[in-house]
Structure 1
């Protein structure tokens, strides 16, 4: 699913769009399978009688409520958490009902590092830490798929962004000097 173009600038393109690693929803899915099994077993244990249908509905209803809370909410959190790397910035959006977001301009990023435990290396996941100029502390993103690749991509984009800004600045200065010593606002 593509990231909405409405949040992107005119000359900005999405380079990579990530969600947290899929293993963040592993235990909720295992919980769902256990819940289905337990609800089926519980419904089968309801004794025969006039109230059997009602008690089976109670068991299924409780299983549905637990499934929404233990499975649905984590899946929605995973699906609505976005890490979007563009040609100009890094966007982080999260939230199901209320939304939270943070944008880090590539020009403000001073350092990008990643950390992987042995298990993270096995599943190709990790933690990406981003230091920015002017902030009080690092921005830490956990459960990032291909964290070492994301770290390398961000470092490359930061360098490309610095080169692009330097070229734009040089082009502006070239235009400024070509006006025969007049300041651009003095033309009119």
Structure 2
């Protein structure tokens, strides 16, 4: 899925557009399985009782609320979080109703690092740490293929035409 072109400058192109790594969805999937399994078990227990319709309604309502809270909300949060690297800037956008975002021009990026532990290495993700000229280092967690993104970001910072022009002036 491409990032909306109307948010980019005329000469700007998307290099990487990704969502957080799929590992962030493991707990919601487990919650889905537990809620559905537990709800089915409780519905089977309530079935022989005289008030089974009320029991099924309560089980359905509680299960529905749990599914919204434990499964749907994290899924929507994952789907609406965008990590975008363009030829001019690094952007992170997140949120459904209240959107927030961070954008760092390539010329303001001083250094780029990544880190990942054993589990992250097995899964192919990690944390990208970006230090800009004026702010504290920004850490972006659960970036898929973090080493490749690190390399691409470093290459874009190094190839930034404004940075090259500034170096030539000095």
User: Post-superposition shift, 1:66?
Assistant: 0.3
Alpha-carbon RMSD across the aligned residues, in angstroms, is 1.8
TM (norm. structure 2) is 0.93
User: Which structure ranks higher in relative contact order (CA pairs < 8 Å, sequence separation ≥ 6)?
Assistant: 2
User: Post-superposition shift, 1:166?
Assistant: 2.0
Q: Which residue of 2 aligns with 1:176?
A: none
Q: Does 1:26 align with 2:26?
A: yes
User: Post-superposition shift, 1:34?
Assistant: 1.0
Task: Report the Cα distance in structure 2 between the residues aligned to 1:71 and 1:87, rounded to whole angstroms.
Answer: 35
Partner SS for 1:72: helix
- Cα-to-partner distance string for 1:149-188 (whole Å, 9 max, x where unaligned): 1111100011111477529x88xxxxxxxxxxxxxxxxxx
- Cα-to-partner distance string for 1:109-164 (whole Å, 9 max, x where unaligned): 110000010111111111000001122x1011011111111111100011111477
Q: Which residue of 2 aligns with 1:140?
A: 139
1:144-159 alignment to 2 at 5 Å? 144-159=143-158
Structure 1 stretches of 4+ moved >4 Å:
none
Seen in structure 2, the aligned counterparts of structure 1 residues 92 and 134 have a Cα distance that, compared at 3 Å, is: same
Task: Report the Cα distance in structure 2 between the residues aligned to 1:126 and 1:164, rounded to whole angstroms.
Answer: 27
Residues 91 and 102 of structure 2 are in contact (CA less than 8 Å); yes or no, is this contact kept in structure 1? yes
Partner SS for 2:121: helix
Task: Report the Cα distance in structure 2 between the residues aligned to 1:20 and 1:45, rounded to whole angstroms.
Answer: 39
Partner SS for 1:97: coil
Structure 1: any 5+ residue segments left out of the alignment? 171-188
> What is the total number of aligned residue pairs between the two structures?
168
Residues 107 and 162 of structure 2 are in contact (CA less than 8 Å); yes or no, is this contact kept in structure 1? no
